[in-house]
Amino acid sequence: MKKLINNPADVLAESLRGVALAHPELSVDHETQVITRATPKAQGKVAVVSGGGSGHEPLHGGYVGVGMLDAAVAGEVFTSPTPDRVQAATKAVDRGAGVLHIVKNYTGDVLNFEMAAELAAMEGIDVGTVIVDDDVAVQDSLYTAGRRGVGLTVLLEKLVGAAAEEGQDLAAVVELAQRIVGQGRSMGMALTSCTVPAAGKPTFDLPDDQMEIGIGIHGEPGRHREPLAPASEIARQLVEPILADLDAAGPAIVMLNGMGGSPLIELYLMYGEVVPLLEKAGVQIARNLVGDYITSLDMAGCSLTVLKADDELLRLWDAPVNTPGLRWGV
Amino acid sequence: MKKLINNPADVLAESLRGVALAHPELSVDHETQVITRATPKAQGKVAVVSGGGSGHEPLHGGYVGVGMLDAAVAGEVFTSPTPDRVQAATKAVDRGAGVLHIVKNYTGDVLNFEMAAELAAMEGIDVGTVIVDDDVAVQDSLYTAGRRGVGLTVLLEKLVGAAAEEGQDLAAVVELAQRIVGQGRSMGMALTSCTVPAAGKPTFDLPDDQMEIGIGIHGEPGRHREPLAPASEIARQLVEPILADLDAAGPAIVMLNGMGGSPLIELYLMYGEVVPLLEKAGVQIARNLVGDYITSLDMAGCSLTVLKADDELLRLWDAPVNTPGLRWGV
């Protein structure tokens, strides 16, 4: 295992120390491993909390800041954070108008956020929850009942964060989040496995001449393996399953995301391959992201996310956001 | 070779196609492989041009935009762009106040930019040049007489871009650039080799239990190889050579940069390791960047850049910048 780490057991704790040093605008509680804004939002606004296993940076900690999340709860690598930590985050950021939990659909996350919501309710905090399940690759998976939550989470955190920032109430923010989940889909692929520090070896074996289509963000199995193919063919295998599941004609926000180990020159090349395929199907790309936004440690590969958009979503997209991972308008 | 590409010979051209699709605020000339702002800056302001071999994204194309570069000339992967292309970029962005060429110190780049400056001069365009040679690892190298130009290039492009944007004249911008080169240093290391698409195999062999200290951004040899070490020891080996060469006590801008294949969770961990070492030497980190800013394709590893700063440099750093790779204040 070749990694820039000390003891594998300390990776998250030590990485959070670096986050705290790099970002004085964030506040890191090293005990609960919760990242919040150093300056909380105004009283009376809905707070937005997300979290899950680490290893997907910049998600979620890199999306804490004005216009996006109020708190991110960092579990150990690929491990759900415990309910008490989610509750601590929820309590820390509640400004009296309720808290939205954004949960990627993995069984551990769903259970732990549910329990945290119950604990928060006992303290009089209103919690709304949205479960993100945008991955069209597989119906059920190793860690999931139903579809996995992947790239759409990034777009949802941005859009819902903007709605909360402008003062929409909890019911409106929850409804917006549900609507986004209903109209966004993702599909990913891997050229290589990731290596979890505590495991010390690749999560799976992928021969030099093979790739995995429909990979999960924890290296969990996708749809199938096949021989390495050109980018044009990979693009087809990402676009087609999304379009088979979503009538995406019309305006859209599109993200071509890197899994962590693929350089930007390749991600732009892939973006150049997916755009004509989407446009041929009537998708009008109104906004886009190309880069590493939800990763799987050092995995080489990419994923595509397509979210149908309308004027309201584009307005929320363009609203100011000031986080380490996404920043504009400020 | 596992890459998201089609034909290895087409990587740059196809990646630029993706850049053009993703960034309507940029203009890509696919013939000369020059990236410019879609909306040129006002007449009478100094223009800033950089470029060099591709494979270091987001450098340089990702730094074209308001407050930073006016044009980036993209050579093939790890290959200097020809003088006629540099000249074309220079001519395209000149607004009557002269053009600054930012050149990383590699023999090919230096010669080609020099020739381009002569060609531009024949057309009546004033060109100033700054050669960036911040890498303390080696005195001469495979492609270099004198030190290599690496991470400082990113900080310099930001700072000089801000000065040009606010209307400083060419002499002042050149003097600023020289001053920055005089007070910035970098040091890098690699856990793995990069793989140049056209070569199809890793540039060098680095055994599973070895790392290379002082690596260049093209995979050219560094100072030495040694057994894999913990992040704390790697940090020491990056910080000490910089401090041995630069009296860095006082305010500074610091960048912990990823080489392309190392995930963000590790880069933050490394940042957490270098900060105490720098602070112990009296460095006061006033601003920082942590992430992939100047890469070496898919190489795993990182580099550290330290630039001594003063109020003037910090003011230019904080000025608005709006590029795909760096964005704030807008």
| B231 found inside a domain | yes
The catalytic position among A23, A56, A60, A101 is A56
Mutate to test the interface with A, among B4, B56, B57 (most CBs of A within 10 A): B4
Q: Nearest CA to B219 among B261, B268, B183, B265?
A: B261
Distances (CA, A) of B299 to A22, B1, B52, B193, B234: 23, 13, 18, 5, 16
CB contact under 8 A, A4 and B62: no
Residues B152 and B218 in one domain: no
Domains of chain B: total: 2
Query: How many whole angstroms separate alpha carbon A316 and alpha carbon A165?
Result: 10
Kindly identify which residue of chain B lies nearest to residue A264, measuring between CA atoms: B57
* Per-residue model confidence as pLDDT tens for chain A (330 residues): 999 999 999 999 999 999 999 999 999 999 999 999 999 999 999 999 999 999 999 999 999 999 999 999 999 999 999 999 999 999 999 999 999 999 999 999 999 999 999 999 999 999 999 999 999 998 877 777 899 999 999 999 999 999 999 999 999 999 999 999 999 999 999 999 999 999 999 999 999 999 999 999 998 888 999 999 999 999 999 999 999 999 999 999 999 999 999 999 999 999 999 999 999 999 999 999 999 999 999 999 999 999 999 999 999 999 999 999 999 999
Asked if residue B161 and residue B228 are part of one domain, the reply reads no
Which of A149, A182, A215 delimits the end of a domain? A182
Say if residue A178 is in the same domain as residue A240.
Answer: no
Range of the domain at B27: 11-182
Mutating which of B262, B267, B268, B302 best tests the A interface, going by the most A Cβ atoms within 10 A? B268
In the residue annotation, A56 being an active-site residue is answered as: yes
List CB contacts (< 8 A) between B329 and chain A. 330
> From the CA of A139, how many Å to the nearest CA of chain B?
26
Question: Is residue B203 in some structural domain?
Answer: yes
Task: Please give the Cα distance from A298 to B14 (Å, whole number).
Answer: 24
Chain B interface includes A18 (CB < 8 A): yes
- In chain A, residues with a C-beta closer than 8 Å to the C-beta of B263 are 55, 57, 260-261, 295, 297-298
Residue B138's pLDDT is 87
Query: What is the spatial distance between Cα B79 and Cα B202, in angstroms, rounded to a whole number?
Result: 17
The answer to whether residue A122 is domain-embedded is: yes
| A255 found inside a domain | yes
Contact B21 A271 (CB under 8 A): yes
A270 with A141, same domain?
no
In this structure, the answer to whether residues A166 and A202 fall within a common structural domain is: no
CB of B260 within 8 Å of any CB in chain A? yes
Among candidate residues A147, A182, A217, the one where a domain is terminated? A182
Burial B272-296 (b: 16+ CB within 10 A, else e): bbbbebbeeeebebbbbbbbbbbbb
Residue A89 pLDDT: 98
Cβ–Cβ of B265/A302 closer than 8 Å? no
In a domain, A35, yes or no: yes
Instruction: Report the pLDDT value the prediction gives residue A194, as an integer from 0 to 100.
Output: 96
pTM summary value: 0.98
Low-confidence ranges of chain B (pLDDT < 50): none
Full DSSP string of B197-256: TTT-SBSS---TTEEEET--TTS---SEEEE---HHHHHHHHHHHHHHH----EEEEEEE
Q: Of A182, A215, A249, which residue sits at a domain end?
A: A182
Co-location of A75 and A194 in the same domain: no
Q: Are residues B199 and B275 in the same domain?
A: yes
Identify which of A21, A192, A232 has the shortest CB distance to residue B6: A232
The CATH code of the domain that includes A197 is 3.30.1180.20
